[in-house]
Amino acid sequence: MDRVAIVQHAPAFLDRAATLAQAASAVDEAAGSGAQLVIFPEAFVPGYPAWIWRLRPGSDMGLTEELHARLRANAVDLAGDDLAPLREAAKRHGVTVVCGVHERESEFSRGTLYNTVVVIGPGGTLLNRHRKLMPSGPERMVWGFGDAAGLKAVDTPCGRVGVLICWESYMPLARCALYAQGVDLYVAPTYDSGPRCIATMQHIAREGGCWVVSSGCAFQARDLPDDLPGKARMYPDPDEWINAGDSVVVAPGGKIVAGPLHEALGILCAEVDLERIGMARRNLDVAGHSARPDVFQLHVNTGAARPVVFHQE
C-alpha cells in the first residue's frame, strides 16, 4: 500500500517565495511520515484569491486591479522554473507532488493567468500541467480558460494520477476523460467545501471505481496579509474561517477513509490500496465492461492552444 498526504495549510498569500518555502517544508514533513504522494490545494501558490467573492463590480475596480497586479507578480512561470524549491523537495525525498498554482504565461501573452495544477515526479521533473478548463463565476476575472493538453492520467509510483480542479469535478465529460485513461487516484484540489463537495467526492469514487483525494483550501482572515487592499472592510473578523478546507480521502466504492479535515490546518494522511480498484470495478467499470462504445463516444481535443515549454533538468 502507498501513503498519501494532503497538506491543508494556509499559504503565505501573495508571496510566491515564502509559499514555496512552506510547501517544501510540508513535503519534508509528509515524506518523513512515509508519504509517497503529497498533495496541495487549488491555487496554493500564492493562495486562492478568495476576495473575488466579496469585491463589488464597478466600485471595487481599483482594488481588483491592485490585487490582480500582486497576484501576477507572484504567479508561477513554469518556463522560468519558479517551482525549483518544490521540484527539489520532491527529488530529495523521491515523492510525487501535486500542487495548485497561479500560472503566468511568459512565453506568449505575458498577461493571462491560469488556474493550474502541476504533477511533479519523484525525480523532480514535471509530469503534467493541467489548466482549469472553465473558471467559475468571478474566477473568470482572474484566470483564462484552460485546454485539454493536461487532461490526462500520468503514471507515478503510486499509480495513475489524474487531476481535475474544483468544479471541474461537476463536469461529467471531464471525469469520463480521466476514467477512460484508467485513473487510479483522482485528485481534486478545490476551493469547494462542505457536505455537497464531500458527497460529490464519494459519488466519483463510486462512479469511477477509483481512489479520490480532495485537497481543500483552509484559512482564516488572520492568514491574509495585513496590507491586503480592502482587508479591513472585507474581513473585519480575524477569526473568521474564510474556507473550511474539508480535505478528504475516499476509497473506491465511496467510503471515506480519512477526513474531512474541517476548519483546521494540518496534514491528512491515508493508506491507499490499489487492489481495491479492481474490486470496485467488478460490478461497475465505466471505462470497461460497463461502457457501451457502440452507443456512446467521447472526443477530447488534447491539442494545446499554443506551444508550451517546460523547464526540466
Q: Which residues are catalytic?
A: 42, 132, 166
Asked whether 114 and 295 are in contact (CB, 8 A), the reply is no
Instruction: Provide the 10 A C-beta neighbour count for residue 282.
Output: 9
Distance of CA 151 to the CA centre of its chain: 13
SS3 call for 162: strand
d(CA 178, CA 208): 9
Q: Which three cell numbers stand for residue 208?
A: 469511477
Q: Which three cell numbers stand for residue 271?
A: 493508506
d(CA 261, CA 219): 12
d(CA 68, CA 70): 5
Render the burial of 2-19: b for 16+ CB within 10 Å, e for the rest: bbbbbbbbbbbbbbbeeb
Annotate 233-302 with DSSP letters as a single string: HH---TT-EEEEEEEEEE-TTS-EEEEEEES--EEEEEEE-THHHHHHTTT--TTTTT--TTT-------
CA-wise closest residue to 268 among 213, 197, 307, 312: 213
Helix ranges restricted to H, the chain: 16-32, 61-73, 84-93, 172-179, 195-208, 231-234, 275-280
Between the alpha carbon of residue 98 and those of residues 126, 154, 199, 238, the distances in Å are 10, 12, 22, 30
